[in-house]
Amino acid sequence: MTPQEQLDAARRCSDAVNSALTFYGDGACGRWIAVRLSDGGTDGQLYDTKADAVRHQLHEMMCAYICIVPTGMPVDDARRFLAVNRKLYDAGMRLSDPDRQVQMPTRKEFFR
């Protein structure tokens, strides 16, 4: 995936989170969306739980799962989130496990 494709995916992801907040207001907070790692797109659905979001995907490990927070998601945060999810999947982790939550790294070295 080229840097431009990664940025485009991050923009789509950010738009999906921020659009959910615009359309549903506080009703979107705490709900989940599934974001495709390939292009940052979604199925357009909000899910009550991460398990529901995982269950409704054709291939659960092709997506990242985001819990919507009131502050939304800036493009740069979306870029990092998708990059972390891709790296962890490539390393063999199963992030779609509904009981597992991922802590975003804050060290710059991880993003090189």
Q: Is residue 112 part of a domain?
A: no
Q: How far apart are CA 41 and CA 27, in angstroms?
A: 21
Q: Is residue 19 part of a domain?
A: yes
Per DSSP, which regions of the chain are E strands?
32-36, 63-67
Q: Is residue 33 part of a domain?
A: yes
Structure tokens at 34: 């599934």
Which of the four pLDDT bands, split at 50, 70 and 90, describes residue 25?
very high
What pLDDT is recorded for position 97? 53
Q: How far apart are CA 74 and CA 68, in angstroms?
A: 12
Q: Is residue 78 part of a domain?
A: yes
Q: Is residue 106 part of a domain?
A: no
Whether residue 108 has pLDDT greater than 90: no
pLDDT digits (tens, 9 = 90+) for 35-58: 999 999 999 999 999 989 999 998
In terms of residue numbers, what domain contains 7? 3-95
Residue 90, C-beta contacts closer than 8 angstroms, at least 6 positions apart? none
Exposure of 58 by Cβ count < 10 A (0-12 exposed, 13-18 middle, 19+ buried)? exposed
Evaluate if pTM is beyond 0.85. Answer: no
